[in-house]
Amino acid sequence: MLAVQVVNGLMEGMMLFLIASGLTLIFGVSRIINFAHGSLYMIGAFLTYQLVPMLSDGTLVGFIGAVLLSAIAVAALGGIFEILVLRRIYGSEELMQLIITVALVLIIRDIVKLIWGRNDVLVSMPAELSGALKVADAYFPIFQLAIFGAGLMVIAVMILVIKFTRAGILLRAATDDRGMVALLGINQQTIFTSVFVAGSFLAGLAGGLAAPFGNINYMLDTTIIVGAFIVVVIGGLGNLYGALAGALAVGVLKSMGVLYYPRLSMVLIFLIMAAVLVARSLGRAGVTR
Amino acid sequence: MDRFAKRGVSAFALLAATVIGLAGPASAQEPIRIGYAADMSGACGPLVDGATKAFRLGVEELNKAGGLLGRKIEVIERDTKTRPDEGAKEARDLIVNHKIDLLTGVCSSAVMLAETAVSAELKVPFYSAIGNTQAVNVDKFQPYFWQTQANVLMEASGAAEYVAQNKAWKKIVPLAFDYEFGHTSVKTFSEHLKKIRPDIEIAAPIYVKLGESNMTSYITAVLAQKPDAVYGPLFGSGLVNFVKQGRSFGFFDQTNLITLTTVDFLQSMGKEMPPKGVVGFARAPFTALLNNPKAKTFVDAYKTKYNIEPSDWAVLTYDGLMFYAEAVKKAGSVKADDVIKAVTSIKYSGLRGSDMSVRAFDGQMNAPIWVGAVAPDPAYPYSILKDVTRIEASKTMPSEEQVKALRAAAK
Amino acid sequence: MTAHHRHESIIWLGAAVAAAVVLFAFGPGIALLGTEIMIMALFACSLNLIMSYGGMVSFGHAAYFGLGAYGFALAIVRFDVPPALALACGPILALLAALLFGSLCVRLSHIYFAMLTLACAEITYAILFQAYDFTGGDTGLTRFVAPRFGLTPQLYGLVVLVVLLLSLLILRRLVASPLGLAIRSVGEDPYRTAALGYNPRRVQLAAFVVAGGFAGLAGMLFSVFHGNAFPDYAGLAFTLDALVMVVIGGLHSFVGPIYGAIIYLLMKTFISRYVGEWELVVGIVLMAVVLGAPRGLAGLAARLGIPSGGRKS
């Protein structure tokens, strides 16, 4: 029983991480608090819904193809937004950057409503991923196991890119000291744009991958963004491994909480974040910046 | 000159200028004005969609037939954004600025309670056709209100009536969203079932965070208790998630789900609906009404106009409007007191059958609910309720004494 | 009283008379809308104090608005406090909550500060939402007083106008006082302020508590206005409303939030009557403001020569 809940929590945590990864990546480099990350996720889900029947409904190949195409489209959209809008306000206060992403949330939500309507739409589960592994009495759904695997793959790719490629080195350098990278003659603008595109890709990917898991409608953005933010904050903004640990911890704690006091789940995630933040602030004297 | 003061002046001047520009023109008293303040955007948006379509269709038909009492019907639509403050604000504005004769719309319990308070204050008739908290009938009842669908007490009792007939079920786990509707539904269901089937074990309820999209940990927690059935009064997106995710845990092979299956939900699910294991209760499934020529006409008209079959919300909204029209004809006036008198005295036959009436002491219509097994049907691209039982209000409606007791308890 | 002060008072008085004329000249519908705008303007001004002056962006300011409403409502419903006394309970409850939450939040800065204020607000919201027997849960509290205590919309509007003006005068005095200067100074550079001998956290906490108190006052006025209280009043939607009002009106301006409240509420109220996609319009306006007029309407007005320049720094 406990084991089942823990495994469940880990799988839920990995889904959270998939959403949070792009968010923390973008923040780490550009210091942009991207409220529209959930909206990009939502577009990824809707595009997958649109593409799956065009490719091959109900098959794994069709699903993966649709997800990748959707993620690429969302990445392109993110790139356009970065170039046309975000680029103009990197110098201004963080509040302005935040508000502009809030504006984007409002705009995307209504456009999505205009295109796909108000009712829930669904993506059918690929045949290869439906069903569950049965161990003793417990069911472990293949789809969630596959998502867990996809999450591990995303982490592996991210680590490889960050550790071993020139882009990764630049990215790490930019996360540490943006000014220094600029001084070295690297075009900072290119880095920001690439990172935003990569982050948007991850948002689209997460949205596409999760599409068969539940309902898709125009409120998906707000449904997921707060949780993703909290995971990123718990892990430490810009800290990829922190986000992973935070996501898994949140998933497991929530899953365990259901066993003992389900009504707590309304605030559980906020309590965890508050505890982490307060703990972090304790022992610090004077001013923190 | 001081800059703060100057800014103060310009701000107030701006307020003055805009407000002057907005003072609307007064218009003639001729048409009957209906204020339709509904949760068009926000959390209730998807449910209200079909309701609004049906309302527009109904008004169009009434006007084509010459209106009511020889007067045209004019509808002023407002979006309450599923926010109670917006609901109260729009209701008040409709009454004060537009002199409406009737207020309706709503969906969410909170918005409904906010609007019914305004209706009581300004003495304008208000009815609900799709939101169904019992609070508006019980402790928050006011004489200018009525509702035309089964409230949550009746709905949950009706589900219990149906469940009681299944002798094979010995253990039920309730699971609901963690808000007033969910709590009341579970409490009523459990109490009603205990009364008629004392042998059934009802486990401690599990409450799910409202708006939760990942149901997996709730699903496994429920399954671990090995229930014969789960009473889960979920609906809309939450239900979609529960059923989709439940399937991957083999939920419907291991147990049964008793839940609110409205037609829009079944349409969204399409072929994704499990072929067995779901017992649905519903407030007005059109598939169970087609023997009634009035309902058949409506379903056809709706389908012609919007190219989809009407959801329960659409049927209820249309039926609620026609009930009002009938009451106005009887009253010969749209004055609040006359309308209320007619509302609580007429016998109405509409889409959901004949002999429908509203009680004066709690404004509740004797609306039935429908319960059946959800299964695919060749006539539709989605599953529908099969072997439907119509559970009459006489079996589910709390008596006047019970309502009084509930009112006393709520004090 | 100096000539300068007298001059200023006359101008405020003129503004007040203009607003009162609007309230009384165009019927109850306009009076209701005007009242709502004034209440939300007060709420936005309270947020502006910590945002524009204290440099603290809160994602949870609605908590104090909501507690202002519930302090008033619960005092009447659960404790049978006479309504006149209950009016004070709202702001006091908000103030106390701001003291409690604020003392935790000011230990952090920037986004971490914002996220902790969010957590505090969501916990508040959840308590209001879940404690049925006490707070009425998600279905809230209704019909415990006559809306506006039965005053006509015009008369209640006048009351709100007076409260708004008094509050603005107090806030305006505050930002010009030594404490106000300290708040601005911490907002710009906490290190330098610390070097000057101030305890930055204490200064921030003072600002936070004052802002919470005025938010509570606005929430109480809102609760009287509608004669109800719902958990939504402490929810994220109200916080976002206030943030948007401050930004549209103009960050770093004392009266900006008033402009913001006027524009935002008119948009929200009237656009949604004609266009289902009202949020799209708000989003576009917001984006245009941030890109084209980052100082908001107050900044635009200043550029056009209307005296409403930003805060001096």
- Domain locations in chain C? 3-239
Alpha-helical segments (H) within B40-108: 45-64, 84-98
Cβ pairs A/C, distance under 8 A: 125
Q: What number is the ipTM of this complex?
A: 0.92
Chain-chain contact of C277 with A286 (C-beta, under 8 angstroms): no
Q: Residue A104 — pLDDT band, cuts 50, 70, 90? A: very high
**Vertex C155: Cα angle to C150 and C160 (nearest 5):** 100
User: What one-letter code names the amino acid at B304?
Assistant: T
Q: Which of C184, C264, C114 is nearest to C256 (CA)?
A: C264
Say yes or no for a CB contact (<8 Å) between A109 and C247: no
Domains of chain B by start residue, with CATH: 29-150+290-367 (3.40.50.2300), 153-282+368-410 (3.40.50.2300)
Q: Which of residues 258-297 of B touch A (CB under 8 A)?
A: 264-265, 267-272
The dihedral through the CA atoms of A135, A140, A145, A146 has a sign that is positive
| Residues of chain B positioned with their CB less than 8 A from the CB of C15 | 5, 8-9, 11-13
**Which residue segment(s) compose the domain that A15 sits in?**
2-281
Q: Phi/psi at B231 (nearest 5 deg)?
A: -90, 105
Q: Is residue A127 part of a domain?
A: yes
Q: Tokens for C48, please give them.
A: 């502006």
* A218/B45 Cβ within 8 A: yes
> Residue A216 — very low, low, confident or very high, per pLDDT cuts 50/70/90?
very high
Whether the predicted model's global pTM rises above the 0.90 cut:
yes
Q: How far apart are CA A174 and CA C4, in angstroms?
A: 53
CA distances from A34 to A68, A200, A259, A267, B346 (A): 22, 10, 34, 23, 57
The answer, yes or no, to whether residue A11 has pLDDT greater than 70, is yes
Q: Who has greater pLDDT, A206 or A33?
A: A206
Q: CB of A224 within 8 A of CB of A214?
A: no
Contact C61, C208 (CB under 8 A): no
**Option in A120, A141, A254 nearest B240 (CB):** A120
Tell me, what's the pLDDT at A29? Answer: 85
Chains that touch A (3 or more CB pairs under 8 A): B, C
Q: What percent of chain A has pLDDT over 90?
A: 67
Residue-level pLDDT at B290 = 96
Size of interface B-C (CB pairs under 8 A): 170
- pLDDT computed for residue C12 by the predictor: 77
Confidence (pLDDT) at B332: 95
End-to-end CA distance of chain C: 28
Report CB contact under 8 Å: B9, C18: yes
Give the model's pLDDT for residue A287.
39
B220 has a chain A CB within 8 A of its CB = yes
Residues of B in Cβ contact (< 8 Å) with A119? 46, 49, 264, 267-268
How high is the pLDDT of residue A92? 79
Extract the tokens encoding A46: 């809707």
pLDDT by residue (tens digit) across C144-184?
A: 999 999 999 999 999 999 999 999 999 999 999 999 999 99
Whether residue B78 lies within 8 A of chain C, CB to CB, comes out as yes
Burial C45-78 (b: 16+ CB within 10 A, else e): bbbbbbbbbbbbbbbbbbbbbbbbbbbbbbbbbe
Confidence of residue C305 (pLDDT cuts 50, 70, 90): low
Residues of C with Cβ-Cβ distance to B19 under 8 angstroms: 22, 26, 30, 33-34
Kind plus residue range of the DSSP H or E element containing A40: helix A37-55
How many whole angstroms separate alpha carbon A94 and alpha carbon A83? 18
Q: How many CB atoms lie within 10 A of CB B399?
A: 8
Residue A56's pLDDT band (boundaries 50, 70, 90)? confident
Beta-carbon contacts of residue A108 (< 8 Å; ≥ 6 apart)? A36, A39, A40, A42, A43, A221
- Taking CA–CA distances from B22, the nearest residue in chain C reads C30
Residue C297: C-alpha distances to residues C48, C264, C269 (Å): 14, 11, 19
Long-range CB pairs of A47-53 (<8 Å, 24+ gap) are A47/A73, A47/A74, A47/A204, A47/A208, A48/A123, A48/A207, A48/A208, A48/A211, A49/A116, A49/A121, A49/A122, A49/A123, A49/A211, A49/A216, A52/A123, A52/A124, A52/A211
In a domain, A288, yes or no: no
The region, left, alpha or beta by phi > 0 then psi within -120 to 50, assigned to residue A58 is left
Q: Which residue in A4, A10, A25, A5 sits closest to A198, CA to CA? A: A25
Give the pLDDT confidence of C27-69 residue by residue, as tens digits: 999 999 999 999 999 999 999 999 999 999 999 999 999 999 9
Contacts of residue A271, Cβ cutoff 8 Å, sequence gap at least 6? A264, C119, C123
Q: Does A119 touch chain C (CB under 8 A)?
A: no
SS3 B126: strand
pLDDT at residue A238 tops 80: yes
Cα separation of A146 and A133, whole Å?
12
Distances (CA, A) of A40 to A59, A222, B96: 24, 11, 42
Contact between A235 and A19 under an 8 Å Cβ cutoff? The reply is no
pLDDT for C231 beyond 60 = yes
Q: Which of A92, A103, A271 sits opposite C283 (nearest CB)?
A: A103
- Using a CB–CB cutoff of 8 Å, tell me whether A136 touches chain C: no
The pLDDT value recorded for residue A58 is: 84
Q: Looking at residues A260-265, what average pLDDT do you find? A: 89
Chains near B (3 or more Cβ pairs under 8 Å): A, C
Smallest Cβ distance to B220: which of A4, A131, A215?
A4
Radius of gyration of chain C (CA): 19
Per-residue burial over B372-398, b = 16 or more CB atoms within 10 Å of its CB, e = otherwise: bbbbbeeeeebbbbeebbebbbeebbb
Q: How far is B179 from chain C (nearest CA, A)?
A: 6
Please enumerate residues of C whose Cβ is less than 8 A from a Cβ of A: 51, 57, 104, 107-112, 115-116, 118-120, 122-123, 126, 129-130, 190-191, 194, 200-201, 236, 240, 243-244, 247, 251, 276-277, 279-280, 282-284, 286-287, 290-291, 294
* Surface-to-core class of residue A285, CB atoms within 10 Å of its CB (0-12 exposed, 13-18 middle, 19+ buried): exposed
Please tell me the distance from the alpha carbon of residue B45 to that of residue C259, in angstroms, as a whole number: 30
Would the CA dihedral through C146, C149, C152, C157 be positive or negative? negative
* Residue listed under structure tokens 């799988």: A11
A4 contacts on B by Cβ (under 8 Å): 220, 224
Grouped pLDDT means (10 residues each) for chain B, 411 residues: 49 51 48 96 90 97 95 96 95 96 94 96 96 91 96 95 93 96 96 95 94 92 95 93 94 96 95 94 96 97 97 97 97 96 97 96 96 96 95 95 92 73
In chain A, how many domains are there? 1
Nearest CA in chain B to A1: B224
Please name the residue that has the structure tokens 């519903």: B282
Q: How far apart are CA C278 and CA B42, in angstroms?
A: 12
Contact with chain B for residue C301, Cβ under 8 A: yes
Please tell me the predicted confidence (pLDDT) of residue B304.
97
For B183, nearest residue in chain C (alpha carbons): C132
* Token pair belonging to A160: 């490889």
Give the residue among B11, A99, A94 at the shortest CA–CA distance from C172: B11
Nearest to C262 among B14, B23, B140 (CB): B14
Measured between beta carbons, the chain C residues lying within 8 angstroms of A282 are 107
CA A251, CA A234: separation in Å to the nearest integer?
13
Find, in chain A, the residue whose alpha carbon is nearest to that of B41: A118
Q: Which of C193, C264, C286, C289 to mutate to test the interface with A (most CBs of A within 10 A)?
A: C286
C290–A267 CB contact, under 8 Å: no
Identify whether the C-beta of residue B302 lies closer than 8 Å to the C-beta of residue B58: no
Torsions phi, psi for A35 (to 5 deg): -65, -25
Residues of C in Cβ contact (< 8 Å) with B209: none
Per-residue confidence (pLDDT) for residue B11, from 0 to 100? 54
Q: What are phi and psi of B219, to 5 degrees?
A: -60, -45
